[in-house]
Amino acid sequence: MKKEKFGSVQGNAVTLYTLTNSNGLEVRATNFGGIIVSVRTPDKQGRMDDIVLGFDDLQGYLDNKPYFGAIIGRYANRIAAARFTLDGVQYSLAANNGPNSLHGGIKGFNKVVWSAEPFENSTGVGLIFTYTSKDGEEGYPGNLRAKVTYTLTDQNELTFDYEAMTDKATPVNLTQHSYFNLAGDGRGDILGHELTLNADRFTPVDKNLIPTGELRAVKNSPLDFTKSTRIGSRINDKDEQLVLGHGYDHNFVIHRTDPGPVLAAHLREPQTGRVLDVYTTEPGVQFYSGNFLDGTITGKQGHVYKQRFGLALEPQHFPDSPNHPEFPSTILRPGQVYQSRTVYKFSVEK
């Protein structure tokens, strides 16, 4: 564990932490937004590369419109028309994505300075991030106490354990928003990556990228990743859902037989042999193919992030669940504890 100054935000110190396991896998994270700044893993030749998109310094993350590497909350993904009704009361949120509220609003969990407590134990090395979101923050009810624990293990797993408690009923949907390019940050697009999703259904969207409420089978559609498929093989098909999303920007319904973490996604980059497996307790995973990266962002080491230079796999509850009672509930009530776990497992196929 190493820590260094990374700047400050409104007088609050921001620290950059470097976590390294016994295999040399390295993760750098900061208490501003819980952002993962870099993940360095070996390829099949043993060469280490950074495989997540981001910035060299804090200044880049202060704007960070793509949400590179951040904890997302209080509600990940979109809420339609920036409002929801809970227990007979309508709550209004900031509309920061057309008519919708996206990823917690104007100042979501990605833009706050979290308290951070480093630790080392028999499980691994990590960080405990805590933050209290006050009643009314970004329009959400209740004082929400959130805790997110990052653990890097010697099994090359990066685990995220989420917990939250509230004093008033509120929607909660937390996730991690790293963008991956397993070929290496800035080394081109992700269209040659091969993806498998443990999902035979997805939630189709309307023109505002809000779920219609249907759980649609992926079979016989370009959203079928039940078998390993090159991401670029069908991304430009004239399928209505791909046209609406400008590519893949959809929530997939994870197939599960038990409540524990199950495999949600298997991602492989054939040239380097790098593999990312995503396990989660969440009911869905949002696959986003970096459609709105457009070359206007310069990231680490001067890398210009063009369209589809990175992808996100965000384990979470379904978008707009507070307005869809037929979806798994995201409502947390006093006395309850929100708990969720996601695991990124890194490996290499020769």
Active site residues: 177, 314
C-alpha 64/C-alpha 72 separation (Å) is: 13
Q: Are 198 and 254 in contact (CB under 8 A)?
A: yes
C-alpha 15/C-alpha 118 separation (Å) is: 11
The burial class, CB within 10 Å (0-12 / 13-18 / 19+), for 62 is: middle
Q: How far is CA 318 from CA 181, 214, 261, in A?
A: 24, 12, 17
Q: Are 71 and 82 in contact (CB under 8 A)?
A: no
**CB neighbours of 203 closer than 8 A, spacing ≥ 6?**
211, 212, 213, 214, 215, 216, 250, 251, 253, 284, 318, 319
Q: How many CA atoms lie within 13 A of 293 on its CB side?
A: 29
What the block records as the tokens of 300 is 């680490």
C-alpha 130/C-alpha 31 separation (Å) is: 9
Q: What is the C-alpha R_g of the chain?
A: 19
